[in-house]
Amino acid sequence: MLDERLNRVMEYITGDTLVDIGSDHAYLPIEAYHNDKIKFAVCGEVVEGPYQSTVNNIRQHELNDKIEARLGNGLKVLNNEDVDTITICGMGGPLIAQILKEGFGHVGNHPRLILQANTYTYPVRKAISELGYTITNEDVLKDGRHFYEIIVCDFYPKQKNYTEKELKFGPVNLENRTEAFIDKLNWELEHHKRILKGIDSTAEKNTEKIDELNLKISERHEVLNSESQ
């Protein structure tokens, strides 16, 4: 049984072949196969322990001929193969961006990308933009005190050029302005205000940090006070 986050990711999977990087016991590929979302999957793990856990879980579900575990660094587990969907979930944004930049040359075609970042999505959007991808959907999910973002990307001949504002907050998020997205902005706004309040503004060494926080606060005020983009 998947949590809400991975269930939402599964909804966006397309095509027969899935590649799941950082697969965490192959939960997503197993559920996707049982729900007839895919016919075959590759699970990539960079550390031996999680790799063995993935192998064991695939074996326990008797899916050895349908789901293959591979030990390797990110997308480098692929050998220029054509696949339909790549999922990279449950990591920080900078790490997801690094995986894309360093390993996309090992992907044979331009599959759909479903990227679920736990933190800091700007580098993710920057990386996919540099790969020529277009963001076709975005979701913000709230789980307790935590917010998770899902970014769905497809490759089109005419790539959209994104503004800095769209890279920071997400073009679809800015358009749809869902309740979870607005809640996330409000949480971030109050969080940055609390940090700013606790900084000694008389210390010269804090000037750069104060300017950075004031910019973040101003940007979030602007988005919250604006109409649909």
pLDDT tens digits, one per residue of 89-148: 999 999 999 999 999 999 999 999 999 999 899 999 999 999 999 999 999 998 878 899
What's the pTM?
Answer: 0.93
At residue 227, the pLDDT reads: 65
Task: Let me know how long the chain is.
Answer: 229
Residue 77 clears pLDDT 80, i.e. is over it: yes
**Residue 63 falls inside a structural domain:** yes
At residue 202, the pLDDT reads: 73
pLDDT tens digits, one per residue of 48-61: 999 999 999 999 99
The pair of three-digit structure tokens given for residue 158, joined into one six-digit string: 């005419």
One domain, residues 31 and 141: yes
**Residue 136 falls inside a structural domain:** yes
For the ranges 18-22, 192-196, 225-229, the lowest mean pLDDT is seen at 225-229
- Sign for the CA dihedral angle at 185, 189, 190, 194 comes to positive
Number of domains forming the structure of the chain: 2
One domain, residues 21 and 107: yes
**CATH number for 104:** 3.40.50.150
pLDDT band at 229 (very low <50, low <70, confident <90, very high): very low
**Residue 167 falls inside a structural domain:** no
Residue 36 clears pLDDT 90, i.e. is over it: yes
Whether 21 contacts 99, CB under 8 Å = yes
Domain range enclosing 44? 4-162
Question: CA–CA separation, 115 vs 21, rounded Å?
Answer: 10
At residue 198, the pLDDT reads: 87
Question: CA–CA separation, 108 vs 125, rounded Å?
Answer: 21
pLDDT tens digits, one per residue of 7-26: 999 999 999 999 999 998 99
- Which has the higher per-residue pLDDT, 165 or 201? 165
At residue 195, the pLDDT reads: 93
One domain, residues 118 and 220: no
